[in-house]
Structure 1
Amino acid sequence: MPATVFRNGSLVAELGSAAAPFASAGPVLVVADGKVVATGPGAAEAAAARPDAELVDLAGGTLVPAFGDGHAHLPQGGLEKLGPAIRGARDVAGIVAAVADWAAAHPEQEWIRGGSYDATLAPDGLFDARWLDEACPERPVVLHSWDYHTVWANSAALRRAGIDASTPEPALGRIPRRADGSPLGVLQEPGAVALLDAVAPPRSLAERVEAIRLATAAYAALGIAWAQDAWAEPADVAAYLAAAGQDALAIRVDLAQRADPAAWRSQRQPFAAARDRVQALGHPLLTARTVKFFVDGIVESHTASMLDDYSDRPGDRGLPNWSEAELVAAATAFDALGFQLHLHAIGDAANRLALDVFEAVERANGPRDRRPVIAHAHVLHPDDVPRFAALGVVANLQPLWARNDDVMRELTVPHLGPVRAEWQYSLRSLRDSGARLAFGSDWPVTSADWRPAAATAVLRRAPGHPEDAAWLPEQRVGILDVLDGYTHGTAWQAFAEDRRGRLAPGFDADLAWLDADPRTADPDALPALRIHGTWVAGRRRH
């Protein structure tokens, strides 16, 4: 791969720093063999030594370290592009119409699967199978909710799975029912969703590889060069290996294999073998060093694990996926195999349990550089905030969620009540406590685009709506903190802070070319910031 010289623009070597950019009409950065060779004033001499280098004219734009996404679901995001486009539907009728149109255009598809719909379009997020029957009564239809913890199925799909009034409530799942006991049409959490998964035909390898290709290309178009795939099943690992072999990966990805509460003991050897297969491939963009645990569900479906009852459901404290003893045993076992631990925790009880588990793991296995991750950290009891820094836990939050949107008003706050509603997305409190922040998107739950998310973290409201009041404004953080969380923070999570997250000689050439410096942009204008190019290991991917 030839050397590349970037000229006629500005260079921001580290987005978490307020240092002035280096600007020049001449060279500002030189890349060779996938690494940064020279930056700033030294770039001119390095460029002169490479007269055959490719020249990139930044046209007055700004070159920055590429961004990372510390928590996402790439195959699911890519698969959404292959099914009915329901994400933009604004009512149930819109979803039904989109499914009907897609079904008519794809008569060869035995099952119709898509995602993801807005759960606020029906009261309490409860959708009726009969509504989908209007779109397609004969073929099974299964749609994922935006949260990917719930599916909505039509009557044909429920029949195929044998789900009826006599079906017992599954462990680790819920089946909302009509007054006569028949299933309404939505299935909540993995224990219930698995009843459908058991009878639905699996996606083909070709479909999965195409989904990964589409997903990683979408990330490259956003200036993102690394993502944590936070839910990899065995079929996904196989698809990533195939995608790597077909040069279908546009960015770096680390795979987090999902630990099953009912089967984790039998997963230990296969997980280690899958990691070894990925490592043996030696592909520079693919690793599999992480294990993912779903500690609980989500607030919006009353499945997040809470320390006290839900405000609108006395006696209900959610649906924990693990007992404390089993989670400690599983986490300790996978840690002993050298895996990084990545725990989904939403409720205050789930976050406390996750922190307790990390303490127990260190007691059992001794100290080492673990960098355990709590993803989402949605509702944090104030007493638990300082424990992140004390235990070296990476707080991976999704800044786009830190605003008073329809979901917050209609579902989240009524479920939590006024006191716990103020314990959400405690970005400033975590930062001030010394916790390591590494941001993510949870795509396709919400957008993979870091720009509106970064603006939301600064404003605590939707960008472009200055008339809206900031939500929990005391939890706002500065733009430098946010950009650091998307670059150095995600590099830290990836154990790559010594080679990614900033632009310096010897670092990987993971770069993004923007039309302006995001540190000085009006936060309301951040979503309009243009991304002209993305390089991963020195190769242009967008």
Structure 2
Amino acid sequence: MSSTLFTGGVIWTGTGDSDALLVTDGVVRALGAQAVELATGIDCERVDLDGGFLMPSFGDGHAHPLYGGLEAVGPAVRGCTTIDEIVQAVEVYAEAHPDEEWIVGASYDGSLADGGLFDARWLDAAVPDRPVVLRAWDYHTLWCNTAAIERAGITADTPDPVLGEIPHRPDGSVLGTLREWGATDLVMNVMPPRDERERIAALGTAADYYLARGVTWVQDAWVEPHDVATYIAAARQGALRMRFNLALYADPRHFDTQIEQFAASRRAVEDAGSPLLTARTVKFFADGVVENETGALLAPYCSGLHSHSRGQERSDSGQNLGMQNWEGDSLAEAARRVDELGLQIHIHAIGDAAVRQALDAIEYTQERNGSRDRRPVIAHVQLVDDTDVGRFAALGVIPNMQPLWAQMDALMTVLTIPRLGVERADRQYQMQTLNRSGAALAFGSDWPVSSGAPLDGIAVATSRRTSDGQPDGGWTPHEIVPIEQALSAYTTAVAYQAYAENTWGNVTPGASADLVWLDQDPRNTPPLDLPGVGVRATYVRGAQAYRADNGRDRP
């Protein structure tokens, strides 16, 4: 029996404070005076919190850890602030890797080109003789050079595929930007697969990243069959080091064949026997993203900044309403069939029309399949119509939202607001409205789309301001989430989403000791200073999974 006593700081249980915590064999045994008393006279490691703050570790309710880990393998384009910097980073990488047949990277800033439209010829200047494929930071868009476009067999005469768009230059030639799955798959399907050792290592990179930020559970929100195999291999090699739940990707183009695979994938994960790995969820995309005008809206986009895809819906006046990936009642019926398998429904819905379709699908599922503890999730919820706000609580739907996005950054000002208009843009990310409605608000990051550090997101949730403090008083300040509620949305609420509220997400006797030790109390820290709060250590089942020597070093 091994025990650890934590004292010398504030211990936040999720509902209150204590000054001592005893952990035995990875489980919370006692708090306060009882913890000190039980630790007396036994062989016990003692940890002095040095005035710091110990709390339940964070969970990330919506992310893409495998993709995030793989970003470290390709050209370093995420930090580039100009198109020229991206092209230079690709050129440097290509010169350093002359034997790589394809140059693959992510995540470039889609706001750097007008309308988010990037030209293949810009990449051709750096690498003309090998395919180059870069994912945008939204992961719904590819920027390819001419060699990649040609390898995919895309020509000026290639029609827009189902659920995709191929933008063209004014002369009719293919531009080099591909939007949404139907188009991006044309290139992805001809790319050589990543080496499996590289993919397993990427999960280790993701674990390093998350544990350094106090995160011990992640919902991988887009998992295909080969990804399941990678996770199982990593689990068997002991390479996971933190908790993952897999959401199996449901594609409307292939759903009837996929549905047969979902139960088999769940069984394969269960057979792997890892306490760190589960596969309980299925992920649906109801729509795309506003920045591509593929997020599905109830009222038309107001910009017309790019030519419309044939896959997009139109209003009676012919204006663009975005793209609904599942036609008619197909999402509702697919959700019902997934629910019949006992799997959790997790739906990406950005626009207000997509949110309504997702709610309708969940309501239909409940009516047809009857009552059970299903905890359906709608992720992102960028726009929700006023008439639909109350349906989240009524249907028991968890809105998993990305608080970092609720700020007036370049993505918002350059790409989003011009497409929505100011009045509609000011109704985005109604986190506190949904919270007050009684919905079980949970947070996620969508990493690597955006930062996976919970404190970065909590800084925005509690201020609605950018890192430089704009605007003064916060954008739509009535949606500011109080600090303890924001902490709970990244801990206990995510544990509830994971069906794990009795296992982790709080510090109570009998719970797994999944903990994060911060160097100061975030509740007493100005919101804009929260990203600088140091993670001193992270614990999974009582074992130290990460430690920073000075409390601030993070990979």
TM-score (norm 1): 0.96
The 5 A counterparts of 1:37-186 are: 37-48=29-40, 50-51=42-43, 53-186=44-177
Partner AA of 1:39 in structure 2: L
C-alpha distance in structure 1 between counterparts of 2:432 and 2:442, whole Å: 13
Aligned partner of 2:310 in structure 1 is none
Q: Pick from 181, 184, 192: which aligns with 1:193?
A: 184
Give the distance between the partners of 1:249 and 1:29, measured in 2 at CA.
Answer: 27
In 2: Cα distance, 1:245 partner to 1:33 partner: 22
Q: Does 1:341 align with 2:345?
A: yes
1:37 match: secondary structure: strand
Task: Say which of 241, 245, 254 aligns to 2:236.
Answer: 245
Say if 1:340 and 1:370, in contact at 8 Å, map to a contact too. Answer: yes
Check if 1:363 corresponds to 2:367. yes
Q: Does 1:283 align with 2:287?
A: no
In the aligned structure 2, how far is the partner of 1:307 from the partner of 1:33?
A: 53
Relative to structure 1, is the Cα distance of residues 49 and 437 closer, same or farther in structure 2, using a 3 angstrom cutoff?
farther
Aligned amino acid, residue 138 of structure 2: D
Q: Is the 8 Å Cα contact of residues 248 and 262 (structure 2) preserved in structure 1?
A: yes
Give the structure 2 partner of residue 4 of structure 1.
4
Q: Which residue, out of 514, 537, 540, partners 2:541?
A: 537
Q: Name the CA shift for 1:139/1:468 in 2 (closer, same or farther; >3 Å).
A: farther
Q: Are the counterparts in 2 of residues 431 and 437 from structure 1 also a CA contact under 8 Å?
A: yes
Letter in 2 for 1:407: L
CA distance in 1, matches of 2:248, 2:106: 22
Query: Does structure 1 retain, via aligned residues, the 8 Å contact 2:131–2:147?
Result: yes
Is the Cα–Cα contact under 8 Å of residues 150 and 193 in structure 1 kept in the other structure? yes
1:500 Cα deviation from its structure 2 partner: 1.6
Does residue 430 (structure 1) correspond to residue 434 (structure 2)? The answer is: yes
Once residues 78 and 279 of structure 1 are traced to their aligned partners in structure 2, the CA distance between those partners, rounded to angstroms, is 24
Matched position secondary structure for 1:374: strand
Matches of 1:422 and 1:251, distance apart in 2: 37
Matched, 1:294 2:276: no
Q: How far apart in 2 are the matches of 1:521 and 1:136?
A: 47
Q: Is the 8 A contact 2:64 2:222 kept in 1?
A: yes
SS in 1 for 2:481: coil
Structure 1 unmatched ranges of 5 or more: none
Instruction: Map 1:204-215 to 2 at 5 A.
Output: 204-215=195-206
Corresponding residue for 1:319?
A: 323
Do 1:143 and 1:153's aligned partners in 2 also have CA atoms closer than 8 Å? yes
Three-state SS of the structure 1 residue aligned to 2:134 is: strand
Aligned residues of 2:65 and 2:206 also touching (Cα < 8 A): yes
Identity fraction in percent: 51
| Superimposed CA distance per residue, residues 108-152 of structure 1 (whole angstroms, 9 cap, x where no aligned partner) | 111000000000100000000000011110010000000000000
* CA offsets 1:33-63 (integer angstroms, 9 cap, x no match): 2211111211112222531x33322222111
Shift of 1:464: 4.5
Q: Which residue of 1 aligns with 2:225?
A: 234
1:504 has 2:508 as partner: yes
| Pick aligned residue for 1:328 from 308, 328, 332 | 332
Give 1:475 deviation, angstroms. Answer: 1.1
Distance in 2 separating the partners of 1:372 and 1:465: 35
Does the alignment pair 1:22 with 2:18? Answer: yes
Q: Secondary structure at 1:459's aligned position in 2?
A: coil
Letter in 2 for 1:389: A
| Superposition deviation, residue 3 in structure 1 | 2.4
How has the CA–CA distance of structure 1 residues 90 and 33 changed in structure 2, closer, same or farther, with 3 Å as cutoff? same
Using the TM superposition, give the Cα deviation of residue 540 of structure 1 relative to its aligned residue in structure 2, in angstroms: 1.1
Cα distance in structure 2, aligned partners of 1:123 and 1:93: 14
Asked whether the equivalents of residues 311 and 417 of structure 1 are also in contact (C-alpha less than 8 Å), the reply is yes
CA distance in 2, matches of 1:220, 1:417: 39
Q: Cα deviations across residues 77-112 of structure 1 (Å, max 9, x unaligned)?
A: 000011100001010000000000000001111100
Contact 2:5 2:36 in 1 (8 A): no
Q: 1: CA distance between counterparts of 2:422 and 2:348?
A: 24
Q: Is the 8 A contact 1:251 1:536 kept in 2?
A: yes
Q: Identify if the C-alpha distance between structure 1 residues 49 and 505 changes in structure 2 by more than 3 Å, giving closer, same or farther.
A: farther
Asked if the contact 1:324–1:353 (Cα under 8 Å) also holds between the matched residues in 2, the reply is no
| 1:481, distance to aligned residue in structure 2 (A) | 1.2
Contact 2:408 2:470 in 1 (8 A): no
| 3-state SS of paired residue (1:317) | strand
Question: In 1, are the aligned partners of 2:399 and 2:442 still within 8 Å (CA)?
Answer: yes
How much has 1:181 moved relative to structure 2? Answer: 2.0
The letter of the residue matching 1:33 is D
User: Does 2:527 align with 1:520?
Assistant: no
In 2, the alpha carbon distance for the partners of 1:157 and 1:524 equals: 42
The one of 221, 240, 252 equivalent to 2:212 is 221
Query: Aligned pair 1:377/2:381, yes or no?
Result: yes
CA deviation after TM superposition for structure 1 residue 397, in Å: 0.4
Give the equivalent residue in structure 1 for 2:496: 492
Please report how far the alpha carbon of residue 329 of structure 1 lies from its aligned counterpart in structure 2 after TM superposition.
1.4
Give the letter aligned to residue 37 of structure 1: R
Cross-structure match for 1:203: 194
Q: Which amino acid aligns with 2:7?
A: R
CA–CA distance in structure 2, aligned partners of residues 109 and 54 of structure 1: 49
Cα deviation per residue 1:192-216 (whole Å; 9 max; x = unaligned)?
A: 0010011100112111101111001
Given that 2:133 and 2:143 are in contact with CA atoms closer than 8 Å, whether structure 1 keeps it comes out as yes
Q: Is the 8 A contact 1:217 1:541 kept in 2?
A: no
Q: Does the CA-based 8 Å contact 2:463-2:473 persist in structure 1?
A: no
Does the CA contact (< 8 Å) of 1:230 and 1:292 recur in 2? Answer: yes
- Give the match for residue 454 of structure 1: 458
Return the alpha-carbon distance in structure 2 between the equivalents of residues 265 and 3 of structure 1.
51
State the distance in 1 between where 2:280 and 2:193 align: 25
3-state SS of 2:245 partner: strand
Supply the distance in 2 between the matched residues of 1:162 and 1:360 (Cα, whole angstroms).
41
Corresponding residue SS for 1:156: helix
Q: Once the 2 structures are TM-superposed, how far is the Cα of residue 469 of structure 1 from its aligned partner?
A: 4.8
The verdict on how the C-alpha distance between 1:505 and 1:49 changes in structure 2, with shifts beyond 3 A counting, is farther
Query: Does the CA-based 8 Å contact 2:77-2:89 persist in structure 1?
Result: yes
Within 2, Cα distance between the matches of 1:176 and 1:503? Answer: 52
